[in-house]
Structure 1
Amino acid sequence: MKEDVLIQKYIERAYKALEDDKLVKALDLFSRANELSNEEDVDIIIEIALIYDSLGKSETAKEYYNKALRIDENEERAYYGLAVIYDEDELYDEAIRLYKKAIYISPNYHKAYFFLANVYDICGEEELAIITYEKLLSLNPMDFWANTNVGSIYEALGKNDLAYKRFSKALEIKPNNYLALFNMGVIAFKFNMINKAIGFYNRSIKMNPIYAYSYLNLAVIYKYKDTEKGIEVLTKGIENCEEVHFLYYNRSCFYTLIGENHKACNDLIEALNIYPDFLKYILEDEELEEITNMNCFKEFVENEINDK
């Protein structure tokens, strides 16, 4: 009986340490509780595994997850924990097997569905990813990231009505989230609702001024109908975002349209200073042919080659 009381005290202190983000202290306390319980308490063992994983000691975490499974072969948390480790190590086949095992044991395991869907998406299995996300959403329709992620897959596949449905739901869940606003801008533009798209992108920028893609997509709307406005948007993005090569590249294209070739050349050079591997893409862009034939650009490229 005394040992049971002491175990409980160690566990309570360990959870308090976790709340205070003192992982090593929590690990020590859970380990003491584990010893007193003869290493037979699955809950304690799972907590130890989680802490080791958080500390970057994934091999030790695996050992503890497997200890939990030797005690209870139907411990879904252990399968999920192992799946996460294999997922992070990009061993996706094993991660998929383990996520599915966790779901088989616990059919309402939300996190397992979410990360299984994500692995399918990474592996190019879009339809399986959609099925898995939609299953998760049937269990929890208010999952912001599931709505967002599956909406992005639908949008990439050109299933714009379904993307709109999921992006709208995500925005309903988090009305001021910059990514939800950005995604609604994307889909509104696809539906030719230009003013709505502009509104969504502007709101996205207000919510997160350092998300470069909002500036890019907003500027593209103005590219041909109000090029100088587009340049203004890209300039604002360059001022607010930290060295984003594609903003300089796109502003170069905009400057080219209004005959500001020297400014265009300077922006291309800046883009390459940030991301040298962008050169091949730039040289293949017919829109920039006049700029890449300028002496200032050729001299920069030659100097870069000679330096290497």
Structure 2
Amino acid sequence: MDYNAQGIKYMQQGKYEEAVKCFHEAIEKQPNDAVGYINFGNVLAAVGEEDKAIRFFHKALELDEKAATAYYGLGSIYYNRQQFERAKEQFERAIQAGLTDGDVFFMLGMSLMYLEQPRLAMPYLQRAVELNERDVEATFQLGLCLAQLQFVDEAMIHFERTIQLNDEHADAYYNLGVAYAYKDDPQTAHTMFEKALAIQPDHLLAGHGKKLMERALQ
């Protein structure tokens, strides 16, 4: 029996206790295989046992310093703890160790955004979108990153794409409104703020933007 595969199935079903038993068996049978420790770390992180999870990820890296998903697991914990510098370092190591899926590029890009380094974040967010063109959040965050860098037209393309993927994305409408206001088109900006408010009536920024555009239109 492949205890790691069975444990992952249990995790996907939310059966964490059963997953823990499987990963424990996997480690008992192959104590020098990093995979069991990584999986155990993932299930511990999923149930909020972050300190224990960190120990398991470090154990995996003692056994295999190229265990990319262990670096990713550590990065995710530090990101959740808002320790973005440490998260960034771990995501970089995951990529250096060969992890190439969209999630790791997205998480590295987001860590850099929180570190107020949008210019460094941009290529990672772009890569995340390239790898998964239907990723709503990556598309939106790339738009925000481009807007921060004053690439307004490019940002608008990504906000519009976000809405194509999810037409209930109030923040994408709001940011389009800001972009149209920046481009001195108060009528379209007003429309976008209204759309944001139709989706999320308590969107305070959209409400404020709408009032500003109404004054501008008068």
Shorter-chain TM-score: which interval? 0.7 to 0.9
Which of 132, 137, 154 does residue 129 from structure 2 map onto? 137
In 2, Cα distance between the equivalents of 1:107 and 1:48? Answer: 19
CA contact (8 A) 1:58 1:85 kept: yes
Which of 137, 148, 165 does residue 140 from structure 2 map onto? 148
Question: What residue number does 1:181 align with?
Answer: 173
The AA in structure 2 aligned to 1:165 is I
Question: What residue number does 2:73 align with?
Answer: 81
The AA in structure 1 aligned to 2:55 is E
Which of 19, 27, 31 does residue 20 from structure 2 map onto? 27
| SS across alignment from 2:156 | helix
Residue 192, structure 1, aligned to residue 190, structure 2: no
Q: Between Structure 1 and Structure 2, whose CA radius of gyration is higher?
A: 1
% same residue: 20
CA contact (8 A) 1:102 1:109 kept: no
In 2, Cα distance between the equivalents of 1:225 and 1:109? Answer: 46
Distance change (3 Å), C-alpha of 1:129 and 1:220: same
In 2, Cα distance between the equivalents of 1:46 and 1:222? Answer: 55
Alpha-carbon offset, residue 58 of structure 1: 1.7
Question: What residue number does 2:90 align with?
Answer: 98
Structural mapping, 1:275-290, within 5 Å? none
- Segment drifting more, 107-116 vs 71-80: 107-116
Distance change (3 Å), C-alpha of 1:96 and 1:39: same
Unpaired segments ≥5 residues, structure 2: none
Distance change (3 Å), C-alpha of 1:86 and 1:15: closer
Alpha-carbon offset, residue 118 of structure 1: 1.3
CA contact (8 A) 1:108 1:139 kept: no
The AA in structure 1 aligned to 2:96 is Y
Residues 125-176 of structure 1, C-alpha deviation per residue, up to 9 Å, x if partnerless? 1210122222333333333222211221322333212211221222222233
Structural mapping, 1:51-62, within 5 Å? 51-62=43-54
Query: What CA RMSD, in Å, does the superposition of the two structures yield over aligned residues?
Result: 2.5
Residues 27-71 of structure 1, C-alpha deviation per residue, up to 9 Å, x if partnerless? 234323432x23344433222101211222222111111222233
Question: What residue number does 2:155 align with?
Answer: 163
Which of 189, 207, 210 does residue 218 from structure 1 map onto? 210
In 2, Cα distance between the equivalents of 1:150 and 1:67? Answer: 35
| SS across alignment from 1:223 | helix
Residues 160-203 of structure 1, C-alpha deviation per residue, up to 9 Å, x if partnerless? 12211221222222233222222222212222333322222222
CA contact (8 A) 2:159 2:175 kept: yes
The AA in structure 2 aligned to 1:104 is Q
Question: What residue number does 1:48 align with?
Answer: 40
Residue 207, structure 1, aligned to residue 188, structure 2: no
TM-score (norm 2): 0.85
TM-score (norm 1): 0.62
Residue 72, structure 1, aligned to residue 83, structure 2: no
Unpaired segments ≥5 residues, structure 1: 227-308
In 1, Cα distance between the equivalents of 2:215 and 2:16? Answer: 51
In 2, Cα distance between the equivalents of 1:92 and 1:198? Answer: 36
Aligned length: 218
CA contact (8 A) 1:11 1:30 kept: no
Question: What residue number does 2:11 align with?
Answer: 18
Distance change (3 Å), C-alpha of 1:97 and 1:202: same
CA contact (8 A) 1:45 1:67 kept: yes
Alpha-carbon offset, residue 20 of structure 1: 4.2
| SS across alignment from 2:167 | coil
- Segment drifting more, 59-68 vs 16-25: 16-25
